[in-house]
Amino acid sequence: MFFRLVWFAALGLSTGYLLYLLHYEWVTYNEHPFMTSSSVKRVSSIQFPAITFCNLSPLNRSKVAADPRDEEYHMAVSRLNFFGNNINWSDPYYREHDYFRPRTYDDMINESMNRTSVLKMVFFDQEDVINDVEDTITQYGMCFTWNANGLASTTYTGNSMNFVALLSINTNQSYQSMDNSHGFKVRICQPMTSTSSTENKSATFVLSPVA
């Protein structure tokens, strides 16, 4: 009998506490009302975002990896550096090939894949805009940006309209960068914004190579 009384007491306390919590949540909910409204806005056109795409293997193999010592250097500065060997910086080869000279924009252009070998087709609303794509230097090396100035706008929808690009990785000729990856990293953001800006809201994703 005693155990039954204890059990009923425990059940009663639990039920009472549950009712108290439900009442508290109900009162709290009613004290913070909110209102949601929606509307439809029709526009004749909309500004298109800036699009930057970076080849994750942007370097030209024939220019940056002509010698095994070049490959040792690129492995040492990559994310897989723990697989590489120690570089013998006393080797005259590195000084003769300007390894101790600060890199310039012209160096980046010279060492990267030719843009015509990467950009095969770039269309916007079925118009050829490949000549409007600008070279952009980022942490991944040479990248390409379209609509950086924000002048492009569209009135169309559908998978055959808007922005369409055909890009080539050139796996036989391209060479790894610091990420040791193949594919393209794409960033979509507000026009007239630095590609390295962290303040601007943007969408970034990676496109894997397709055989």
Residue 195 corresponds to which tokens in the numbers above? 């590609």
- Report the C-alpha gap between 94 and 16 in whole angstroms: 80
- Report the C-alpha gap between 53 and 135 in whole angstroms: 10
| Position 195 confidence tier, pLDDT thresholds 50, 70, 90 | low
The predicted structure's pLDDT at residue 154:
86
| Position 196 confidence tier, pLDDT thresholds 50, 70, 90 | low
Question: Which residues, including other chains, have CB under 8 Å from residue 167's CB and lie 6 or more apart?
Answer: 53, 55, 118, 119, 120, 184, 207
Are residues 63 and 196 in contact, defined by beta-carbon separation less than 8 angstroms?
Answer: no
The predicted structure's pLDDT at residue 179:
64
Q: What are phi and psi of 17, to 5 degrees?
A: -65, -35
Residue 87 Rama label (left phi>0; alpha psi -120 to 50; beta): beta
| Position 128 confidence tier, pLDDT thresholds 50, 70, 90 | very high
4: DSSP letter: H
Question: Which residues, including other chains, have CB under 8 Å from residue 147's CB and lie 6 or more apart?
Answer: 48, 49, 50, 51, 124, 132, 191
The predicted structure's pLDDT at residue 201:
65
Residue 122 has pLDDT above 80, yes or no: yes
Residue 149 has pLDDT above 80, yes or no: yes
Are residues 47 and 191 in contact, defined by beta-carbon separation less than 8 angstroms?
Answer: yes
Start-end of H helices in the chain: 2-30, 61-64, 68-76, 92-96, 105-111, 115-118
